[in-house]
Each structure stands twice: as C-alpha cells, then as structure tokens.
Structure 1
Amino acid sequence: MAFKFEADWLLEGSCSKKVATLWSINKHLNVPDRLVVMGQGLKSWAARVKKDKNCLLKILKQRLNDLYSAHPSDTKMVDIIEAKLDYGIAIDKEEIYWSQRARSNWLQFGDQNTKFFHNFASYRQCLNRVRCLKDYLRIEHTKNMAMMHTTISYFIDLFSSSNSKRANEIYNYVTPKILASTNDKLGKDFQEEEIGLAVKEMGTTKAPGPDGFHALFFSISGR
C-alpha cells in the first residue's frame, strides 16, 4: 500500500521528533528521496503508534468504567474528569483519522460518529475505484499496469502536436496579450515566501503528491 501522511499523526507527541530525526539522518539525499525515506520511516512508526493507541483506548475506557462503578467521592470525581479528558483526546484522534478519509468538513460541527466516517470513507473509495479502461482500439483493460499504460498513452497522444510547423505559422497571426514586463515576472524563480504562502492556501488534507505528503504536513513543518 502506498504511503500517505495522516493528519491525526500530528496529535502524537512523538511525531515532530520522529520527522526531525528522519530528516536529519538523510542529509546526503536530495529532497524527493529524503521524503520517500521519511515516508517509510513514518509508516513503521505509525504502525507502532496505532498498536499502542488501540491498547490505550481499551485501558482508558476500562478505567472510566471502573471509576463510575466505584463509591463516589470528591477524589473520584477529579479522577473521572481526568479520565474523561484523556479518553476524549483519544477519541478525537480517531475522528480526525476517519474525517480525513471521508473528506468531510462535518467534524467541525462536533459530529462524534466514527462509524459514520468509516462507512463514508469506504463508500467514497468504492465509487472512485477505476475498474476498467478502453484504449483507442476499444480494447478493455482491467489490470492495473495495463490501465496505467492506457492512461499514459492517451495523454501523450492528447498533448502531442501532429503538425508543429503549421502551428508556428498560425502563431504569427496571434496578438500577444501578456506584456513583456509581466512575462519577466512569470519567468522569475520562485521565492521561499511564495512557496510557503501557496502551500498554506491549499486544501490541508487533499491531493497528496506522489510522495504521500499533503499540504498540512508542509505547512506545519515549515513554521
């Protein structure tokens, strides 16, 4: 399964430290390769965290039940409040996890229904799955590799010019609409501030790149 950064990882206290460690020990690699290695490291780290988190939820729930069953007292009330806070934080992490998959903004309205997010995410995955593609000969392909080659061939053909010489003749009759000064600005190198602003204006958990890291990761890490 391809790597994808999860928004709820940012709620784990060890996440930022893990990211910093993985980034610093791979300084000899270029940025894309460092991100790939970081993704592999975070995937292993997340598997351990998830196992610990599942155990923690059971422990917190049992603790809360035990406190409710105990003889009431002022001390027990304080313990119950603390236990409910701990359990609530753990549940919030689950909600963020499933809301990212559901791509829903309903979490901000206080909907605490993890089962709903789980079902909605599964439903979206089913709808978005491409099961078959036809090539230019109308031959159907259902294998992943064959569908990938069919897609690549389609767009290569779509964006390839069949008569570039004729196109150059047509361009001579097109009046330029972009000023030379504007064109100079468009041709300049991107500045660090511009990149940071663009990332922060993106949808936080939408459209991750090939490396699996979405805008939220970069906007938080780049502060």
Structure 2
Amino acid sequence: MLEEIEESGPLSPEMYSIKVDVSAELHELLVNEEIFWLQQSHERWLLKGDLNTDYYHKIANGRKRKNTIHSVKVGDVEIEGTDNLITHATEFYKNFFGPAPGNEFHMDPNTWATNEKLDEKDNVDLCRAFTEAEVKEALFAMAHNRAPGPDNIPVEFYQVC
C-alpha cells in the first residue's frame, strides 16, 4: 500500500519512516525463513546424508537433473541432444567471438622500416618444427607441484616418462 501511495507522489516523512521500518522487518523475516530452511536441510543431511543411502543418491541425482540442459530453443527451432547442444554452443561462440566477415585488418607492408622486419632466415628459424632436445629442455625447466594443464596430467608425469 505504501508503494502504491509512493507511485502517485512523494511520501511524507512519517510515511517514509513507516515504509523503512516495514522493509527492514520484511527483510529480517525473509532472512530468518532462509536460515530456518537451511538449518532444516543440514539436519536432514546429517541424519540421512553423506552415507551411501537412497536419500544421498536422490539428492545427488536430483541436483544433476536440475542442472542439466536437455534442450535449447533458438527462435522456432528446438535443439536437443548433447552432441547437437555442444555443436550449437561451439558455433554460437565461434561466431560471437570470432572475426566478423569484412572486419579483417590488413596492414600496409610499409608500416615498418626494413631494419625492423625479420629477414627470411629468422622467419624460417621461427617457423621450423621443435627439436626433441628443445622440448626436453623446456619440460625439465618446468617447476614441480604446479597445477596440471588442460590434459589434467601434472608435469612430473612427463618428466619421469
């Protein structure tokens, strides 16, 4: 009711004070309700929870089902299936982050002076394949106990092999 009055015009200082008090009380009630349900869920989890129980599996599988994307609607087309969803997401982000057609930047070949450019020998050296010795040197120069790379294999594994 106070918000409806406020939409038609400014509230008087007394009405504004009442609105602030009601908002604070509502916020406190909502926080208390959230705490209550959080405590209830913890109590249930402690009683039936982290054992290999039916309750545990229902919670874990329910969370997985809730967080799984089964289909996406794009315009009038509905995309279903894991492979189709991955393909669509990949193409979307390729188009989203990739270069737009016509936006390619071509540089003038005379931008740098001759002494600032790489000569053919340097270019060949930069484009050649890595040697086994170079790879081995780089591998053994890596520090131990670091986070693994995208393959989830730590550097120590490669160093021992």
TM-score grouping bracket, smaller chain normalisation: 0.3 to 0.5
Q: TM-score, normalised by structure 1?
A: 0.27
Q: Which of these two proteins has the greater Rg computed from alpha carbons?
A: 2
Q: TM-score, normalised by structure 2?
A: 0.35
Structure scoring higher RCO (CA < 8 A, sep ≥ 6) equals 1
